[in-house]
Structure 1
């Protein structure tokens, strides 16, 4: 992992899961990571097998120029990669093991940018891994990302993160409370309240 957003949310996921292979969705507290909410998403597996967005942060929706709630996760990707993306997402749930994607995003007018995407399993109250907590973040800042929507993501690499990678060395990551204390929140109070409420519903 190279992007601070994915590093921080992975660290948070590790903290709340403790000794378990995956945390309960009720353990996710939006107030613990307020500065990350706009880049986070939650996926759910439907009975028909589709994996869809239950929640997508404002920055993710802005990247694609639309509200992604209820949309299939694979719809963001190049057509020939839909099956691979869905299999990987199901693997994260089935094996309770996080996955990391490296992808290239292409805009509707031909721009391109590198992205890092992480997905981590969440368990429901009855014990099944049926939700995914994740983040999408550009590897480097690009001014056009705030103006021109992405048309699709093309997968460059994906990998499951085995147990030996699931505990991050303390020197690599600062505690979440130190990060929050050292930075101001970078998005509007109203939108933060909406996203926090949606995540709070997920935690029940």
Structure 2
């Protein structure tokens, strides 16, 4: 992660999840993130296109309109929408955090580089699934609405290492002087 806002939000999210794959939505306190709220958003994962449930004021200004109810995927160029949808599917389905590089242009065709951070919430029964994140420009101050968003790169971050149960060893003596240990994890993985 390059942007300080992304680093701060990820650190808070990571602390709130307390070793779990993702924190519960109620564990994220807006007061603790007051300085980041303008760049933050929440999207619904249960509807096609990942519509915005909340979008901060700086994010709305960055894209030149009120985003509530609009689809996150529709902010990207037509040929990029499937790619960003697949990344969002990974975040919500696999419960992993993702940081992505985004390239956009202003109305006068000036290129702008942005950083997109996507953080899942824990899944709860009978509750709509949602993902949070933030979109921030890298570099100088951006003026004017951005358009033609393109995904340039992405990677998962802060993934917990997979924990395996202790191995169960069985000892076989094949021939005199040669011992073979067969390892088994005790699961089907």
TM bracket (short chain): 0.7 to 0.9
State the distance in 2 between where 1:154 and 1:140 align: 17
Deviations 1:27-58 (A, max 9, x none): 110011100000100011234x3311110000
CA contact (8 A) 2:102 2:113 kept: yes
Q: Which residue number in structure 1 is paired with residue 34 of structure 2?
A: 34
Q: 2:87 is paired with a residue of what secondary structure?
A: helix
**Counterparts of 2:104 and 2:84, CA distance in 1:** 15
CA offsets, 1:121-151, max 9 Å, x none? Answer: 0125428782111011111123xx23x2111
Whole-Å separation in 1 of the counterparts to 2:158 and 2:36: 24
Q: TM-score, normalised by structure 2?
A: 0.80
Cα distance in structure 2, aligned partners of 1:92 and 1:124: 12
Task: Verify the 8 A CA contact 1:96 1:129 in the aligned structure 2.
Answer: no
Three-state SS of the structure 2 residue aligned to 1:60 is: helix
CA offset digits 1:172-204 (Å, max 9, x no partner): xxxxxxxxxxxxxxxxxxxxxxxxxxxxxxxxx
Q: Which residue of 1 aligns with 2:148?
A: 152
**Runs of 4+ residues deviating >4 angstroms:** none
Where does the alignment leave 5 or more consecutive residues of structure 1 unmatched? Answer: 166-204
Structure 2 unmatched runs, 5+? 162-189
* Alignment-derived partner of residue 133 in structure 2: 134
Alignment length (residue pairs): 161
Equivalent position of 2:54 in the other structure:
55
Q: In structure 2, what is the equivalent of residue 89 of structure 1?
A: 88
Alpha-carbon RMSD across the aligned residues, in angstroms, is: 1.8
1:167-178 correspondence runs (5 A): none
Q: Is the 8 A contact 2:52 2:71 kept in 1?
A: yes
Which has the bigger relative contact order, CA under 8 A and spacing at least 6? 1
How big is each residue's C-alpha offset from its partner over 1:81-113, in whole Å with a ceiling of 9 and x where there is no partner? 100101110110110001111011111220111
> Is 1:163 the equivalent of 2:148?
no
Give the equivalent residue in structure 2 for 1:46. Answer: 46
Mapped contact 1:121–1:129 kept (Cα < 8 A): no
Q: Distance in 1 between matches of 2:136 and 2:31?
A: 20
